Structure formats: C-alpha cells, structure tokens
Structure 1
Amino acid sequence: MKNLLTLLLILTTSYLSAQITLQGKIVDEFNTPLPFVNVVLKNTTFGTTTDDDGKFYLKTPKNRGLLEISFVGFQKQTLKVNQKTKFLNIVLREESNQLDEVVIVTKPKKRLKKKENPAYKILKEVWKRKRKNGLDLVNHYQYKKNTSIEIGLNNLDTLFLKKLFKNEYKQAIKEVQYDSDGINYYIPIYINEQVSNIYGNNVSNAVREDIEAEKSEGLNAQGFVFDRMANTFQNIDVFQNDITLLRKSFVSPLSTDGFSTYDYVLYDSIVDNNRKLYNIYFFPRRDGDLAFQGNLWIADKSFSVKKLKMKVHKSINLNFVRGLTFEKEFEVRNDSIYIPTKNAYEGDFTFLDKNDSNKGLTIKKNITFENYILNKPLSEKFYEEKIEKIRPNQYEKGDAYWDSVQNDESKKTYKLIKNVKKKKQIKNITGLINTVSSGYINTNLGFQVGPFWTLFANNQVEGFRTKLGFRTFVTKDDRFRLTGHVAYGFKDKKVKYAAEGRYLLSYKPRIAIGAAYQKDIEQLGSTLLNTTQLLGRSFGTAAVFSRGDNYFLSNVEKIATNFDYQIQQNLHFGINLSHAKISSADERYFSMDYIDENGDIQSKLTDVASDIYLTYTPGRFVYGLGVERRFGKNVFPTLVLNYRKGYKDVFNGTHNYDKIQFKYNQPILLSKFGILDATFEAGKTFGNVPIALLSPVPANQSFSLVKDTFTLLNYYDFVTDEYLAGHFEHHFNGYILNRIPLLKKLKLRSLVTFRAAYGTVSAENKAINAGNVNYNAPNKVYYEYGFGLENIGYGNLRFLRVDAIWRSNYTPPVGSTVAPTPKFAIRIGIKPGL
C-alpha cells in the first residue's frame, strides 16, 4: 500500500508540473477589449472565449503548444506557449471588410444552446439597453420627417408595356423602372408625400407633429383599398418583444424571448467609421412561424442597433401577400446616442399565389429623418399644442416648394404617374382591384353600385330576394355620402328600399349629421347593440342558404337621424332620433301581438325613441377626412355605452321605456401564442314592452359564421329584458399546427371559441305577450364552444375558416313552435386579408 501511494504521488506531481495555466487580455488596435474571442490550444479540444472585458483564463494538461486566437472580422493569430507563459497581452488587427458587402448566410444545420451561441452574449446586452436607447437618452429633440408612400404594378413584361404605351413605347421604356428582380418592370400608379416637423419632450412624454407639406398624384380616387394597403405599414418598433402586423403578432428578432423562435448566427464583425459592428443573422426556427428572417448590425460598447434588414418568411401564408420587407438605419450622435435616419417598408401583393412570375402590386413606404436638434427645449405650452389635419387640401404647396425638396427620381415618378393614370389598361386594373376589395363597381358618374355580395338572398317570407345597392362617390374624402338600396322579393312580390345620407358639418370640431329612411324586411334581434347605423344591418335577410325555416321577420318602416360629435380622436358622443313602425312580415307564422294598457290585442307598434351613446376606441388608427372614415388593421379596444328612451304619445309612439346597454371588445395579443378576441355585452330594459323592443339573444340560422351571435340557436329561442353575454375566440396563428410534422405543410391555423349568455325576462313582459313566441330566458347559462381551422384555401387565397361547434342543453318552453336546434354543427366563415 505504501509503494502504491508513493507511485500515485509521483504520477500526480508529474501531471501537475506538465499543466499550462494561461491568462491574458485581448484588445483591438484602439485598445478596446474584445469579448467573445476564441482562444484555443491548436490540435486539442482545450479552449475558451474572452469575457466582456476581453480577459480569458485557460488551463490545459499540455506543457507546450500553439495558442490560436481567432474572431470573425479580425486577422487570426498563433502564439507559442509553454509552462513559462503566464500572462498574454494580445492585439488583434481588423480585416478589411465593408458594411455593404454582399454575403450569403444560411440557417445553421445544428442548433446551438442559447448560452453556447456567441450571439446570445451580444443580444443580452441589447436587451439591457433597449428600453433606454436612442432619442430616449435626451430630454428634448427635434427633427424633420419625410414620408413617401408609393403604389405600383410589378413584374410587368415588355409585351404589357407595348400594349400600354403603344407608339410611346420606345420613350417610355427609358423611363420605366426595373422591378426588384432586375428583369421585369415596375410602373407606379399612385404616390403620396408628406413633410413634417417633429418636436419631442421626454420629460413630459409629449410629442408634437406639424405637417409642413403634402402632395399626392395618381389613381386613388375610386375607392379606399389603396389607402388601406398603403397604411398596412405602420411604425415597426423592433425593440418591442412583439410586432403587430396585419392584426397578427410577430415575434421581434430583438425579443428577450427571441431564442425560442429564432436561430441566431454571429456572422461577422467589421469597423465602420472607427466603430466596431457585430453582424447577426436570424432565421425562424420553424417554417410557418410568425417571425422574420434577416440580419442586424449592432455597435460595440453601446450595443445599439446600427442597421436592420428583415423580411416575412415565405413559408408564412398571409392573404394576398407575396412578400414584406423592412429596413431600418440609425446613426450615432455624441458617441452614444443612436438615432433613426431611415425606415423603408415594401410589400408585394398578388391575388392567386406567390409565384414570382405573376403580376402583382407593390407598396413602398419610405421615411427619412434629418435635421436633428438635440437637447434644445421649447416652452411646455408649445409641446401641448396639437395641430391636426382636418381638410384634404390643408397642406398643399406650390410647385416651387416641391422643386426645392424633391430629388430627380421623385420628379420622374410624378411624371410617369401622370402619364399612365390616363391609360385604359391601368384604369381597368385599378378598378378591378377596388371592386374585388370593396364589392363596389365604379361608374365614373359620381356613384358606385354594390356591394355585389348582397345581390342575392333567400328567406321564407320573400322567397328569392335580389338587392341592388349604391353609394355616391367622387373621392374618398367626400363630405357628403348617400347610400341606399332597392330590393325585391319574388315570393311576396314586394319592393323594398332604403337610403341614408351623411354630411360632415364641421372638420374641427368634427361634427357629422345623418338622416335615413327605410321600408324593408328586417331580422330584429340579430344584434344587441346598434348605435351609429341608422339602417338595419340584418344578416337574417341576406343569407342565400339557412338552417331550418325562418318566418321570424319584421316589416320595418323607419325614419332616423344622427348627430355625431368627436370629442377627441377615437372618442365620440352621439344622439340618434328614430320613428319606426314595426309589424310581423308574415302573421300566419309569426305573431308579434301584445296586450296594450287597455287590455286590447295589438299587432303593430310605433317606436319613437332617442339614443345617447358614447364610443371610445383608444389607439385605433383612423384615416380619411371625409364623412366616411376608414380604420386601419391595428389592434385596439372598443367601448360603447348607450342609453335609449322610448316616448309614448309623441308622434304616435306606443311605449314608454328605458334601456341601458354596454359593450366592450378587447383583442389581446399573446405574442407567439396568438390573439384572444374577447367581447362582453350587458343590458337592461326598464318598462313593459312587446317582443319587438326586447333583447333577443342574437341567433344565427345561416351556414356562415357571424361575429357575436350564437350558431346553434333559432331566432327568438331566448328573449330577455336583462342580459349578459360573452364571446371569446382565441386564434393560435399556427402556433400549434406548425409543430405537427405532417399538418404543418398544409399551413393551417387553429382556433378555439367559447360563447355564453345569461338573462331574464320579467313577469310583466311575459304577461303582455299575446304572440306565438313563448318567452324563454337563459336564466341558466347557455353556452357554445368549438374549435376551428382557418387559413384554408389555395395559394395566396386562404380566407376560409371552418368551425365545429357544440352547445349546452336547454329546454324550449312548453308550447313553443320553434323546432329544436342541433347540438352540433359545422359552419364556414370568410375573412379576406387586408
């Protein structure tokens, strides 16, 4: 045993004496410590990397060797080391790389663990600073912002250009730009430019934007579609964990949870203007995830983003979208403040599929920032003042102004647009785009016909129904708009009609007034709350195919007026006054009879009422300056509060009553897990009223999905004068199905739904009912639940949705003429993109 211990001691001593313990520090030519440098003993498995201060520590069992120091973007060094080597001061020299060099980096085949990935250490430093970076580091700032939005036709060949320009082809081919592929051509058809001055106060969190000038040219007057498409690109804040785009939540490449969605590759580091930049590429871990692909440059020391390029991955199927790209650039000020200098967004939209050979529509949005002034405070009152655009021509400037600010390329674009907008082929294409997106056909006579999807319908009272609608339309900013329709039922052989006119009385404050007349058949109770819509919007009379028979329709002859006052952006106060004569559309099957205060049975009523409402939609993106405004596809909550009062003996009104209603909708973005759309409704009616003035739980007997209705109820299955309802839909946006090997190829997305209603009806209201609907209230909660698949279709057309729906049990009242509803159903929804 003693000899064995002696032998072990000798071997251990020899081993320890053969070890090399190395320490050192690695810097660049400017004596700046270099983190993440690879330090390896050549031809061995022993190595390490430098820490944030450029220091390293390495212990090996060898007694000599070659130490190899390497870092992307720097010249590799090799040093001889032995047991006498103790501390090394190493200087690495930069390689001669340029910021704009073209490189191809592919997604790594083997995924590194987060802490093993050198990009992780860099991104961790970015995360520490991203809430306090750039202009957030100064108290006050000013700059000029130039915004250009351009829409054009892409992927055009010479054959199309020859047909378009004919005798002017030779000259035009010199002016027409190449497409992004450098092979086919691109023709702009619309452009809008805006120059504004921005003033910010970080102390009080106030931002003021003064528009200096605005100009537009091209084919944009036929409809709203180009506005909506142009406003697809709002400000993309990559420093947020999630980026909202087309009402979907994309994970930002700078998200603190980015490693669960992306693969990162630290490709290179270079010196640009004496500043070191790290180049990191990022790729979605799974094709089809709502994520981006691209690269970003991060500055050393400050760990600020210098430049970023990214695009929506082709595997993501967004309706009509062939491609979306984003680019951001920043510059340094005062050694540490990185401020934005350029934002560039580009979208490529096609109708059928993503095939690169198909013609499409390009939307370009470019924003440049210049003339920065930092830490020059202005008065507090100055920042509080808001200058709003209230008239379409408010910021028009003469040619002399634009000649001084536009470059030659912009001037050529305007010249080309003025030429092509007169061409018949271009007008036909843009007209078709507007018709497909809005449903209205332009007549060039100051009005449009449509929407064409309400042209035909069928119900048990009217039989086959045809409806022709119209609206006046000169420009999207019309102060006056008249809409209406004429309908005819081939079974009842009656003509129905309605018209509604609205006029913008004042731009500031924004005041609109409206008046409407309607003589038509309507499905009452299809919605619980209706404030600003003077005409009935009833899907019950618009469906071509329905489940079961529906005779529960009403004749409605109504006169209504509306006054709407905008208190501030997205906060409106309004008053409606209405006079409506209501009766059953077919008394043989549907009786609305009630007992009046004299004990007599009445079959008709006259509802004279006023509504006072308040609507609040914070954060909603609103555009358009006419009486009919448009809303962006951003995510925002909606709050509506309405008080309705009925007047008896005023203009022959038959009932006194009061009704209070409340509605709250809140879409909740849950990052990569999708979006939850939640709606709550509540209401109470005070007074004794017949069925036409009560609150039926909204049913849906059509085979299509309708928001905030119950699919497995018949009309008037539940009648209430006090109710509470909730509708919840969670859209996973591919989070689940994209992780199932076979299903992910179909690019489907899953969703789950839950809807519930609770309500009561008073004994007094039951007592005056003399019709054939026996009141049944959901005094035990009624609910429906289901799951569905969306993003169904072909190519770029994936707007179909299919839901499987089940319901809870309920018992119709004794003597009810309503047929039992199914306990399970399959329903289809259509939801186009944009």
Structure 2
Amino acid sequence: MKKILILTLLLIASSLQAQLTLKGKVVDEFNNPMPYVNVFMKNTTYGTTTDDNGKFFLKTKKYRGTLEISFIGFQTQTLKVSQKTKFLNVVLKEGTNQLEEVIIVNKPKKRLKKKENPAYRILKEIWKRKRKNGLDLVDYYQYKKHTSIEIGLNNLDTLFLKKIFKKEYKEAITQVKYDSDGINYYVPIFLNEEVSKVYGDNINGNIRKDVEAEKKEGLGAQGFVFDRMSNTFQNIDVFKNNITLLRKSFVSPLSTDGFATYDYVLYDSIVDNKKKLYNVYFFPIRDGDLAFQGNFWVADKTFSIKKLKMKVHKSINLNFVRGLSFEKEFEVRNDSIYLPTKNAYEGDFTLVDKNESNKGLTIKKTITFEDYVLDKPLAKNFYTQEITKIRPDQYEKDDTYWKTTISDENKSTYQLINEVKEKKQIKNITGLINTVASGYINTKMGVQFGPLWTTFASNQVEGFRAKIGFRTFKTKDDRFRLSGHLAYGFKDKKIKYGAEGRYLLSYKPRIAVGAAYQKDIEQLGSTLLNTTQLLGGSFGTTALFNRGDNFYLSNVEKVATNFDYQVKMNFHIGLNFSHAKIKSASKENFSMDYLDNNGIIQSEITDVASDLYISYTPGRFVYGLGVERRFGRNIFPTLVLNYRRGYKGLFNGTHDYDKLQFKYNQPILLSKFGIFDATFEAGKTFGNVPIGLLSVVPANQSFSLVKDTFALLNYYDFVTDTYLATHFEHHFNGFILNRIPLLKKLKLRSLLTFRAAYGTISNENIAINRSNVIYNSPNKVYYEYGVGLENIGYGNLRFLRIDAIWRSNYTPPTGSIVAPTPKFAIRIGIRPGL
C-alpha cells in the first residue's frame, strides 16, 4: 500500500507539472519528414524542434493554447491545442513569397567581429540615413492620427469568469476574448480613444495637433494608477540612440553604439512588391542589460525601416512589469521617405513576480496614421496656433460620430466594459490596485481615506502618533478638492488637525487658488524650500522609527493661501500668503527663545509672510484637467525660484525679513551607463530672525532615505542664514553588476551618492539667539558619500534600496547639547516605481 501511495503521488505530481503533452510529426507537401522545424506554444517559453524524422515531443504547464510551427521558406502553421489533442500530423507548404536571396546566420556562440557580421553593413547604412529618412525630408506635412488605449485584466480562468458573470456566464464566455497567449481569458475594463489631426512645418520647426474627438469608458476614468499606467508608453523613437522608458535609458537596437549591447543576426531577405527587404534579429549580449530583443525589416538601397518588433528582455526586472512589447510599421514612399502607419505597444503588469499563471493587468496602446498629405503648406500662422484641452468634455462627440469611427473590435470592447465595470469582483480588484498605488482607500461617498503609510508615527514629544487623513475624490478631473487630517499623540494626549481646500478658478488661463488651516506639530529642520504645499507635511513627524532622541519639534498654528497661475505648460508663477504662530512643542527640552528689539526674551514667533515663486519644469509630462494634476515618470529638469518677505506689525507679525531661495534639479541620462541625478540649492536670509525662521541644513533622523536630506545629521546640527547644498546620485542601472559572474544572477543595481553643504550665520543672528541650540554653520564644507544597491526584492517586486553612508568630520560648538552622529550608517529606501 505504501508503494502504491508513493506511485500515485508521483503520478499526480507529474500530471500537475505537465498539464499538456503534445506529440506529432511535420512533413512537407510531398510527405517528406522535415527536421529542425520550430514548434512553439505561442507567447510562452515552451518550445522544441523536430528530430531527423520530423517528429516532436513537447510538455507544457499549460492546458490549452496555440501551437506555432514554422520553418524558413515555408508558411507558418498555427493550431489550437488542448488536453484532448492526441497526435498532430502537420503539413507545411512552401511560402508564397519567392526568396530572391536567403542568408541564414545563426546566433554565434562566439561573437562575430563587426566586419565579419553581414548585419553590420546594413546597420551602417541605417545610421547614415536615419536622420534624413522620414517626414524630415519634406517641408510640410499633415496626417490623421487615431490613438486607442485599452486596459484589462489578463490570465483569467473560467472559474474567475463564473464568479464575475454568474448566471450570465454562458452568454458572456462567447464575448470574452482570449489573452495574448491564446490560453487564458482577458477582460477589458477601460478604453480611451482619441482622433486628431497633426500638421507639421519643418522649415520653422512647428507642430500643431488638433484633437477632433475623444471617447472614454470604464473604471480607469476614476483611477490614478490606471492613468499612470496608460501613459507608460510615450512616443518611443527607435531612431534615437537611447530610449527612455520608466525613467530608465534603454539602448535602441538602431543605436550607433548598438554593437556594444546587441548581437545582430541577418536572418534572411525576401522580395516584396519588387523591393528587397532584409530581416535582422537582435539579442542583448548580456541578460539583464537595459536592452530589447526582436527583429526589423529594412529596405535595400534606401535602408528605410519597414517594420520593427521588439520587447523588453525577460531577464530585466522592472517593478510590477511582466512584459513590454513594441511594434512599429512604416510605409516607404519615393524610395526615401518612410511614414509611420502603425505603432502598437503592449504592457503586462503583475504585483509579485513574472509567473505566467498569475493574474495581471494588460495595457494596449495602438496608434494608426493615415491620410498623409506632403508638401502642401498652409498659412504660416496656422502652425503656431496652439489648441489645448482645457475641459474634460471638450472633445466629446455623440454616438452618430463614433458609429463610423469605432472599429468593430472596439465596439464589442465597449459593450463588454459596460457589462463588467459594475461587477463587484472587478471593482474590488481595481480598488485594491488604486489603494496600493496611491495609499488611499475609496468609499462610495466620494471621499478617500489615507495615505495609509502616514497613519502611524513616533517621536519623543507625541510618543506614538496615530493619524487619519482624507480627501474628496469623484474623478481625477475634480475642479475642487478638500483634504485634511486628524492626529492624536498618546504621550502628550493632544489632538492635532489640518484642512486644505483647492479650487481651479479658470481652465484657460489655468488659475488655481487654495486655502489651508492647521494646528499641528512640525519638524522645521527637515526641508529648505517649499512653494505650493500649504499644510506642513515633513517626514520628521511621519516616521515610525527614528534614531536618537528628537525633541526639536515645533507647535505650528497656521493659516495659508495660495494663488497659482500657469503662464504656459510647465511654467507657473504663484503667490502664497501665510500667518503662522510658532513655538516649541517641548519647552523643557527644546527652547526657541530669542531677544526682541527691546532686549526682552520671547519664546513665540508670529510669522506673517508672502512668497512669490516661479516654477519651471520643461518637458514634464502632465495629464488630468482637475485642480490636482498628474505627472508622468519621464525625465525632466526642475527649476524653482522663491522670494519670501516677512512683515513685522502686520497681523501682529514679529519680524521683518527677506529670503531668496533657488533650487535646480537635473537628471541626465547617460545611455547604458545609467542616470545621473544632480540637485543644487542655495538661499540667503536678509534681516535678523530667530531659529524658527532661519535655514536649517535638512537632516534625517529616520532610518529611511529621504531625497535632498543628510542622513548622518541631527535636526538643527547646522543653522544658517546663507547656504549652498548639492545632492548627487548616479544610478548605474546594472551596468557594473550585470558584468560580474554569479553576482549578475541577483539582478542588483549599484549606485553612488555624494551630498555636501556649505553655509554661514551672521553675528547679528547669533547675538539674538537664546535657545538651547548653539548655532553651528557648515563654514567648512560638510559632506556625505555612499554606495548602494537597489532593485532588491523578490520576483517582479524589487523596490528596495540599501545605502552605506559615510560623513566628513565636524565639531559641535562648545557647550552644545548635540553630540556628533555616527560616522557610518546603513539606510533603507523604498521606491515603488508606479
């Protein structure tokens, strides 16, 4: 019995391991066996080749799918297979395209030198022409553009569909589409279409886009994460040397430096419509490099790209990404001008890992181009007129318009979305995704609660701190938004609270106003520059775990207003006005005392001030039309200039002063070498002010990494009225570790950091100080440097980062109650990456 039981368990395990076993034979039209024929389960990693007798044997973990049988010079066969499939007899017919010339180059085990590789000659010709071919060859052009973005749940089985549709299952199963692998099912939950006309003037470098119509349906319209994901695919220009994708720089397969990243294989060439086309395959040299895998067809003589298909290599870990693929098609005119006809992007996102059995989210973005008109100029001022979307319903059209515009496939998609968007199971899944991404929990009342990660905190003044936040949210395009929080400290037994309202006063020009009130505790020594955030929200009071003691907190009661005017996209001018009462939150441990003009010691500051700021973020991708905008994860610089004026006497203000601050951030993509992120900050305070109004070099006493702060400083270690700070980070994106044997299997990525601060404090500001903080300024440059590892995690979820950080020496002033911090520390960072 024991042996029978073991045998039974082994049989069960074997059947679970291989749910589908396929056998068959491939022959030609004359019944001759065909060896070395490729037999693959479509869109999976399962495959084999036929033996010398044309026979094949294939085991997979799938229980149904589409089998693809292919061989050069023959027509590819695709067959639906399932567990009922026993034995396959496959006949391959010769291809309809006659091969004028066939060159077969297998991927060499040893890399070929450039001159030995026949693909190199083709790549050289592409490089010569890639800046000349295309629409740049004409002076004027126009075309019609149709963009479709679809989001759906993938890898669904029949059990899941039965839970969704219940009694309607039998009818629904006939409408539900197969997933891209042809095995499981796919249910769309969001679809957005846009029809537009594009006009270009190459002489003056102007492009005008007129949106004609827009249609949107499904759950994505309410979800921030779906908007972020649907905007993952921006314009992918394969003719540039580097392609920016998810804030990472991928080497293009058409890059002039491509041979340092890819192995190229000239697969074959065919004659199509009397034009000779070469088919070139490309593969990353090293698994894990930020590169693609795929192939492209290129025309002989003109060397214009006819078609290109590529995907992110499966060895690359991108948070939540199971797969990304891209397809581009071109029409070649006059043997020199290639015109885009179709761009198709598809992304597969999962939460934990890339296991094919896990459910996930599919994003499909398809762009078609048609009705090209070349070299027919319009009036010069036509191209410079800018038409922008300012209202959510601006381009809505009635059903009459869409009846002739929507494809039959999208018509059925809209119908299915309407059926599933109210299903409880679908709402639960999409709600969970939004909560994980944004930290807010949806309710039916139009109010969201969160963010969840600031719910609990701890500090020496409040002890354990609990906080609940909220915001109104009907759609992402709300013109009015109210947010706020309520907090309680279990040690000081005090309730804290705050509320902020924002309203979009005008769509065009875009003008937003806001007002806020708070009575809460703030860590004033954790940030240098803040322009639009009215409520205090520094990490110094939101961290649950901290090193050392921190009594350096302030009670702040503040009323603030904001006026923000958008001069043009990504260029804002704003004005803030605030009235704040500031005093120590722990007088027995932290004094903020100072001498007033009469020589009397004061312990409370009334700061009445205005801020005039300029914010410029060229190239930032912005979407959404509500009072709160959404931003894509693209690379762009940030420049902020702020002038602050304090008013003594106005509404009982205690100090006159002027403060000028400047901040500049510039990420720089360095191709395969990674991304370099540089930040510069500078500021100067004019006038005599106490500690609560000076510029404190931002410290970080939590165990997590916080941008633009110093991890090995305590709060108020350095107090200045004139400062300069720099923060440099270089992320190698696997360039180093991916070249080290064994270590590269961990898929880790290295980084370097360097931060420095210099500053001074005037004798006049030192003279009025009566706090227990003895002013110390970094008049000898203070710096921190470190090395780190990122992309730490499991499977598809790798958002952890660990830094080892060292600091320079500094000496606290005599009599200071602050002791030097450790010279070395380990810190952890979390970066989800959605």
Q: TM-score, normalised by structure 2?
A: 0.88
C-alpha displacement at 1:107, in angstroms? 4.2
The separation in 2 between residues aligned to 1:412 and 1:98, in whole angstroms, is 39
The alpha-carbon deviation at position 98 of structure 1 amounts to: 7.5
In 2, are the aligned partners of 1:73 and 1:268 still within 8 Å (CA)?
A: no
Per-residue deviation, residues 464-489 of structure 1 (Å, max 9, x unmatched): 00000000000000000011100000
CA distance in 1 between counterparts of 2:122 and 2:111 reads 17
Q: Cα deviations across residues 526-562 of structure 1 (Å, max 9, x unaligned)?
A: 1110001111121111111101000000000000000
Q: Return the alpha-carbon distance in structure 1 between the equivalents of residues 759 and 644 of structure 2.
A: 19
Provide the residue aligned with 1:270 in structure 2.
270
Work out whether residues 580 and 607 of structure 2, in 8 Å CA contact, stay in contact via their aligned partners in 1. Answer: yes
Distance 1:507 1:830 in 2: 36
Cross-structure match for 2:656 = 656
Deviation at 1:756, TM superposition (A): 0.2
Paired with 1:554 and 1:107, the residues of 2 have a C-alpha distance of 66
**Alpha-carbon shift at residue 131 of structure 1 (Å):** 1.1
Aligned equivalent of 2:126: 126
Cα drift, residue 335 of structure 1: 2.9
Please report how far the alpha carbon of residue 673 of structure 1 lies from its aligned counterpart in structure 2 after TM superposition: 0.2
How big is the shift at 1:593? 0.1
Report the secondary structure of 2:715's partner residue. coil
Give the equivalent residue in structure 2 for 1:460: 460
For the residues of structure 1 that align with 2:300 and 2:267, how far apart are their CA atoms? 15
Aligned equivalents of 1:214 and 1:617: distance in 2?
27
Using the alignment, how far apart are the partners of 1:73 and 1:209 within structure 2? 44
Deviation at 1:215, TM superposition (A): 0.3
Paired residues of 2:104 and 2:268 also in contact (CA < 8 A)? no
How far 1:105 sits from its partner (Å)?
Answer: 9.0
User: For residues 786 and 534 of structure 1, what CA distance do their matches in structure 2 show?
Assistant: 33
Q: Which residue of 2 aligns with 1:68?
A: none
Query: 217-226 or 242-251, which moves further after superposition?
Result: 217-226
| 8 Å contact kept, 1:222–1:475 | yes
Contact 2:104 2:266 in 1 (8 A): no
Is the Cα contact below 8 Å between 1:155 and 1:360 reproduced in 2?
yes
The amino acid that maps onto 2:396 is E
Residue 690 (structure 1) aligns with: 690
Could you list the per-position Cα deviations for residues 573-613 of structure 1 after superposition, in whole angstroms to 9, with x for gaps in the alignment?
00000000000000000000000000000000100000000
Contact 1:141 1:201 in 2 (8 A): yes
1:757 maps to 757
1:171-205, Cα deviation, whole Å (9 max, x unpaired): 11110000011110000000000000000000001
Partner of 2:705: 705
- Secondary structure class of the residue paired with 2:432: helix
Query: Are 2:340 and 2:369, in contact at CA under 8 Å, matched by a contact in 1?
Result: yes
- Counterpart residue identity of residue 185, structure 1: Y
Tell whether 2:246 aligns with 1:246.
yes
Hey, what's the Cα distance between the residues in 2 that align with 1:312 and 1:335? 31
Q: Which residue number in structure 1 is paired with residue 191 of structure 2?
A: 191
The superposition leaves residues 628-669 of structure 1 with CA deviations (integer Å, 9 ceiling, x where unpaired) of 000001000000000000000000000000000000000000
1:787 equivalent in alignment to 2:791: no
Please show how residues 145-224 of structure 1 align to structure 2 within 5 Å. 145-224=145-224
Q: Is the 1:222–1:442 contact (alpha carbons within 8 Å) kept by the matching residues of 2?
A: no
Name the counterpart of 2:638: 638
Cα distance, 1:96 vs structure 2? 5.5
Asked whether the equivalents of residues 95 and 270 of structure 1 are also in contact (C-alpha less than 8 Å), the reply is no
Q: Relative to structure 1, is the Cα distance of residues 95 and 781 closer, same or farther in structure 2, using a 3 angstrom cutoff?
A: same
- SS of the equivalent of 2:611 reads strand
Amino acid paired to 2:543: A
2:294 is aligned to 294
Give 3-state SS (helix, strand or coil) of 1:525's partner.
helix
Q: CA deviation at 1:221?
A: 4.0
- Aligned partner of residue 610 in structure 1, secondary structure: strand
> Secondary structure of the residue that 1:174 maps to in structure 2?
coil
SS across alignment from 1:609? strand
Tell me the SS of whatever aligns to 1:765: helix
Higher mean alpha-carbon deviation, 411-420 vs 130-139, is at 130-139
User: Shift of residue 819 of structure 1?
Assistant: 2.3
1:262–1:285 Cα contact (<8 Å) kept: yes
Structure 2 counterpart of 1:183, which letter? I
Residue 501 of structure 1 corresponds to which residue in structure 2? 501
TM-score (norm 1): 0.88
Q: C-alpha displacement at 1:95, in angstroms? A: 8.8
Structure 1 residues 382 and 420: alpha-carbon distance in aligned structure 2, compared to 1, 3 A threshold: same
Counterpart code for 2:712: L
Q: For the residues of structure 2 that align with 1:190 and 1:216, how far apart are their CA atoms?
A: 8
1:45 equivalent in structure 2: none
Question: 1:815 Cα deviation (Å)?
Answer: 0.6
Q: Are the equivalent residues in 2 in contact too, given 1:73–1:269 (CA < 8 A)? A: no
- In terms of mean alpha carbon deviation, does 125-134 or 653-662 score higher? 125-134
Deviation at 1:271, TM superposition (A): 1.1
Counterpart of 1:278 in structure 2: which amino acid? Y
Equivalent residue runs for 1:768-807 within 5 Å: 768-807=768-807
Secondary structure of the corresponding residue to residue 533 of structure 1:
coil
Question: In 1, Cα distance between the equivalents of 2:108 and 2:718?
Answer: 59
Q: Which moved more, 1:322-331 or 1:123-132?
A: 123-132
Quote how far apart the aligned CAs of 1:223 are. Answer: 2.8
The 3-state SS of whatever aligns with 1:442 is coil
Give the superposition deviation at 1:163.
Answer: 1.0
Amino acid at match of 1:556: V
Counterpart CA distance in 2 for 1:206 and 1:670 is 28
Match of 2:559 in 1: 559
Query: 1:73 touches 1:270 (CA, 8 Å); kept in 2?
Result: no
Distance in 1 (CA, whole Å) between partners of 2:488 and 2:106 is 62
**Which whole-Å CA distance do the structure 2 matches of 1:430 and 1:95 have between them?**
46
Amino acid at match of 1:199: Y
Q: Which runs of 5+ in 1 are unaligned?
A: 1-71, 75-93
- Mapped partners of 2:373, 2:686: distance in 1: 61
For 2:112 and 2:758, the matched residues in 1 are separated by 53
- What is the distance in 1 between the residues matched to 2:292 and 2:717? 48
Q: Which amino acid is 1:796 matched to?
A: N
> Equivalent residue for 2:49?
none
Contact 2:753 2:785 in 1 (8 A): yes
Equivalent in the alignment of 1:4:
none
Letter in 2 for 1:422: E
Tell me: CA distance 1:98–1:723, structure 2 relative to 1, closer, same or farther (3 Å).
farther
The amino acid of 2:818's aligned partner reads V
| Cα shift at 1:220 | 2.1
Q: Does the alignment pair 1:369 with 2:358?
A: no
- Tell me how far apart the structure 2 counterparts of residues 108 and 136 of structure 1 sit (CA, whole Å): 37
Alignment of 1:272-671 (within 5 A): 272-671=272-671
Give the C-alpha shift of residue 818 in structure 1: 1.0
Q: Structure 2: how far apart are the matches of 1:833 and 1:593?
A: 43
The aligned amino acid for 1:309 is K
In 2: Cα distance, 1:108 partner to 1:383 partner: 51
Alpha-carbon shift at residue 406 of structure 1 (Å)? 1.0
Which amino acid is 2:775 matched to?
Answer: Y
CA drift at 1:309: 0.1
Q: Bigger CA drift: 272-281 or 774-783?
A: 272-281
AA at the equivalent of 2:770: A
8 Å contact from structure 2 (residues 810, 820) kept in 1? no
Deviation of 1:73 after TM superposition, in Å, equals 8.4
Q: Is the 8 A contact 1:470 1:483 kept in 2?
A: yes
Q: For the residues of structure 2 that align with 1:356 and 1:271, how far apart are their CA atoms?
A: 38
Query: SS of the residue aligned with 1:397?
Result: coil
Deviation at 1:106, TM superposition (A): 6.8
Partner Cα separation in structure 2 for residue 95 and residue 346 of structure 1: 29
Alpha-carbon contact 1:222-1:431 (below 8 Å) kept: no
Q: Which amino acid aligns with 2:798?
A: R
Contact 1:149 1:365 in 2 (8 A): yes
Gaps of 5+ in 2: 1-71, 75-93
CA deviations 1:293-313 (Å, max 9, x no partner) are 000011111111110000000
Deviations 1:444-463 (A, max 9, x none): 10110001110100000000
Give 1:334 deviation, angstroms.
2.4
SS at match of 1:651: helix
* Counterpart amino acid of residue 218 in structure 1: G
1: CA distance, partners of 2:495 / 2:137: 67
Identity of aligned residues (%): 81
Q: Distance in 2 between matches of 1:306 and 1:562?
A: 53
Residue by residue, what CA displacement relative to the aligned partner does 1:267-287 show, whole Å, maximum 9, x if unpaired?
111111111111000000000
Look up the SS of the partner of 1:119 in the other structure.
helix
Give the aligned CA root-mean-square deviation in angstroms: 1.4
